[in-house]
Structure formats: structure tokens, C-alpha cells
Structure 1
Amino acid sequence: MTNWNLIRGTEGKLSTQDIRKNILSYIIQNHPASLIQYIEKEHNIYRIDILGSDSLIFDLQGQFVKVNRR
């Protein structure tokens, strides 16, 4: 289960409704047992850090772009 309480962006805190449904669907489908460390909205991307793992990058439409390996 994903905890969406820790969300930060360049404009300050974001609400859960700012996160695209297809991002949530992607995470549930591809990382079902993972914990989200934090979600950050930057200028043109969402960066989602998985606790103890990689960062997932999505565009502002919620389409998966790439994985940033740690």
C-alpha cells in the first residue's frame, strides 16, 4: 500500500489529488510491496523514490519515463 502523505513540490505541499491515477496504477502493478519514501513534483516531472530502492520518473501526464538507479 502506498502512503501518499509525504508529497513535496516546487510550489510547496501537494494534495493527493495532484498525483495522477496512472502513476498510482503503475506503482501498484510494478512495485506492489514497495514503500514510497517521498514524491516530488519538479518543473516537468514527478519523481517518486521507493524506500531502499530506485527513483521512478513520470511526466506531468503521469506516463512512466524511466528509472533512476541508486
Structure 2
Amino acid sequence: MISLTRLNGETFTFNAIYIEQLQSNPDTTITTTQGRKFVVKEPEEVVIKRTKKFYRELGLLRIVDRKEDD
């Protein structure tokens, strides 16, 4: 799970496994695998960084890292 901030300043915890797409127009919009959209204050790069950290904590990113080494 990653912590994010809505445009109204409210913080919430988001399960990053369900991110399908990120866009910056200029606000960062997250589209989930279910088609829901969340607009957050954090820049796209911050969301990506937090997501990668979350994946590492779950052990998912190591699998991707090893595959890229091949």
C-alpha cells in the first residue's frame, strides 16, 4: 500500500497492485484495473517511486529486476 494525497488535501492509502495506468495532465491521474480514476497531488515520478518500493517490499520487483538482467 502507498500513501497518496487527493487534491483536497485528504490523504489515503492506495493498493498499488491495482494501478493500470498513470497520466500527468498536469495533475497525476491513476487509473485502476477496474477503471476507477484517482487524481492525486503527488507527481507521477513520486507515485512510481512509491510503487516500486511497495513492489520491492512484496518481493515482486526483484523478479522483474532479474528478468531485465538476462
Q: TM-score range by the shorter chain?
A: 0.3 to 0.5
Larger Cα-atom Rg: 2
Larger strand percent: 1
Q: TM-score by structure 1 length?
A: 0.37
Q: TM-score by structure 2 length?
A: 0.37
Larger helix percent: 2
